[in-house]
Amino acid sequence: MSRIYYLYFSPHRAYVRKLKNVLGFVPGNIKLYQMAFRHKSVATTIKDGVKNSNERLEFLGDAVLGSVIAELLFKLYPYKDEGFLTELRSKIVSRANLNQLSRKLGFNEFMEYDARMISYPNKQSSLLGDAFEAVIGAVYMDKGYRFTKEFLLTRIIKPHVDIHTLEITETNFKSRLIEWCQHLGKEVQFVQVENPPGESGKLFSVEVIVDGEVCGLGRDFNKKSAEKLAAEKACEYLKIFEAEEFSR
């Protein structure tokens, strides 16, 4: 009944139909979806400095997405350890991957943002991934966990995410970092530093130093892993992947 109303009689019917084409189901509470696509640059303050932007829904959607993907991987890989599961999940929910999914699904057509405020590309590209999570939050609030899980698995993961390819794609932070530094003529060093006092001597601590500035710190039980962690943090700190994604 409300489905018929929303599609044919509601004042939002054009929007509802467009959304249905993208999501594959008739949304219940339209306001949630409108909010999910609203960047803070065009949001208005609703109370005490809180805006009606998609940021709260993004917080919720991020958590629900994490949980759905955790279960998927837990069941899909019964003989892999939690390190593997954690790494694979972070590849699936990486900002780069979510941005791409958002674009594939056509979420960009729904985005509301102030182009003057988002002039530089990095920001604009995380905009879509943020909205992706916010939409998951909206679906969850609108339809519940079971529906959201079904929606994510059948409508998004299965047709659009090649888990096996992500699994074998090693994200090699160290080589990406070195390439990036070479490209920009920067000097990069991996320096083993002392552990904090009282700390087990078994741990290695490695700092990544780019042009004299400490950009990342990694600690692990072997030097190579510590370097990898430090490189990962440095890539994040220097926003190397966001820059790369744009240049692709």
Contacting positions for a copy of itself (CB under 8 A)? 46-51, 55-56, 58-60, 62-64, 66-67, 69-71, 74, 79-82, 85-86, 137, 140-141, 145-146, 149, 184, 186, 193-194, 196-199, 207, 210-211, 213-215, 217, 219, 237-239, 243
Identified catalytic residue from 55, 133, 142, 232: 133
Nearest distance from C-beta of residue 36 to a copy of itself, angstroms: 13
Taking only Cα atoms into account, the Rg of the chain, rounded to an integer number of angstroms, comes to: 21
* Contact (CB, 8 A) for 223 and 212: no
Taking the least distance from each CB to a copy of itself, the nearer of 80 and 143 is 80
Q: Check whether 133 is labelled as a binding-site residue.
A: yes
Which of these, 70, 182, 54, lies nearest to 113 by C-alpha position?
54
Residue 133 catalytic? yes
Which of 22/85 has CB closer to a copy of itself? Answer: 85
CA distances 90 to 31, 86, 222, Å, are: 30, 6, 22
Q: Phi, psi (5° rounding) for residue 12?
A: -95, 15
User: Which residue among 62, 207, 232, 245 is the active-site one?
Assistant: 62
Task: Please state the closest distance from residue 21 (CB atom) to a copy of itself, in A.
Answer: 28
CB of 238 to a copy of itself, least distance (A): 5
Q: Smallest distance from the beta carbon of 84 to a copy of itself, in angstroms?
A: 9
**Nearer CB in complex with a copy of itself: 99/242:** 242
Decide if 199 is catalytic: no
Nearer to a copy of itself, 11 or 198 (CB): 198
Question: Is residue 24 helix, strand or coil?
Answer: coil
State the Cα–Cα distance between residues 177 and 179, nearest whole angstrom: 5
Residue with tokens 């990962």: 232
The helix/strand/coil state of 4 is helix
DSSP 170: -
- To the question of whether residue 58 is assigned a binding role by annotation, the answer is yes
Q: In degrees, to the nearest 5, what angle opens at C-alpha 74 toward C-alphas 71 and 78? A: 155
Q: Which residues neighbour 152 within 8 Å (Cβ) at sequence distance 6 or greater?
A: 65, 68, 69, 136
Q: Per the annotation, does 130 bind a ligand?
A: yes
Active site residues: 62, 133
Which residues sit in the known binding site? 58, 130, 133
Which residues sit in the known binding site for Mg(2+)? 58, 130, 133
